[in-house]
Amino acid sequence: MRVLITGAGGQLGTALQRTAPGWADVNAIDVEDVDLADSAMLTARLVVEAPDVIINAAAYTAVDKAESDEATARAINSIAVATMVAAMAASGGRVVHVSTDYVFDGTCAQPYATFAERNPQSVYGRTKAEGENHLRPEDLLVRTAWVYAAGGANFVRTMIRLMNERETLGVVADQIGAPTWATGLARTIWALLEKRATGTFHHCDDGAISWHDFAVAIAEEAHALGLVKRIPVINAITTADYPTPARRPAYSLLDCSATRSFLGDQPVHWRTNLRLMLEEEAKRG
């Protein structure tokens, strides 16, 4: 099976390449290969690549910048998806599209099911929801949240840097969700592809925490591995204390039970995967 991965240099794109199974003939492209905002260029590249499956791991993820750059966010998060779907419809292939918890408004009192009503509250969330709308029944949608990986630009590595620079930090404690190790997400995507899954699935690590909870755990685990010299004071603050241009969901926990049932595997707790990622980070030096 010829599989084309977009967003090759990103956290998920890298993880997908590292975990690719033997049955997948993988090629991966990134911004230096094709401008996803240029539909004509993207279509031409897809004709040349002639994949059986596209795993779209690329996205405009600058959540706050999107509020003032909606056209670019829409071009990458929505219009490019439509272009990929059209190309695969013409060739008989499929699209695997990765989306986000930001398509929900964060007002739910229980984990969001795959069929839950979407109500995005930001440009990023709206353009990602628009991208989902282009998918066909035979395509595969995988929603996730709070993705991180060794070597990437993410909350975990930002916290480690700040913990080594400051004695006191303030981290938001009233936004609840679940982190996602990119390696685990990649494995789930490959497993879904192998089982020829279609429709919508959710994948996050097991457990529910706030960003503050996550920061405390990062400090403890990173200190144990020598990545943090000393554990700083980590104060819990509110979203109102740290205003941002884009509105974040206050509660964005995704219900992943259907995914685990479909694949017949067990959920992995977020702290277990955090430790694995930090061990990778420590080896990087």
Residues 6-34 have pLDDT tens digits of 999 999 999 999 999 999 999 999 999 99
Which of 61, 77, 231 is CA-nearest to residue 155? Answer: 61
Q: What is the mean pLDDT of residues 255-263?
A: 98
124 as an active site residue: the answer is yes
Q: What is the mean pLDDT of residues 179-208?
A: 98
Q: How far apart are CA 188 and CA 193, in angstroms?
A: 9
pLDDT for position 225: 97
Residue of 124, 148, 242, 251 marked catalytic: 124
The answer, yes or no, to whether residue 285 has pLDDT greater than 90, is no
Model-wide pTM > 0.85: yes
The identity of residue 215, as a single letter, is A
Residue 239: DSSP 8-state: G
The mean pLDDT of the chain is 97
Half-sphere exposure of 80 (CA within 13 A, CB side): 30
Q: What is the mean pLDDT of residues 171-194?
A: 98
Q: What is the mean pLDDT of residues 180-194?
A: 98
Sorted by where each begins, the domain ranges of the chain are 2-212+238-284
The answer, yes or no, to whether residue 283 has pLDDT greater than 80, is yes
Half-sphere exposure of 229 (CA within 13 A, CB side): 7
The CATH number of domain 2-212+238-284 is 3.40.50.720:
yes
pLDDT digits (tens, 9 = 90+) for 198-212: 999 999 999 999 999
Sequence-distant (6+) residues with CB within 8 A of 136 are: 85, 89, 95
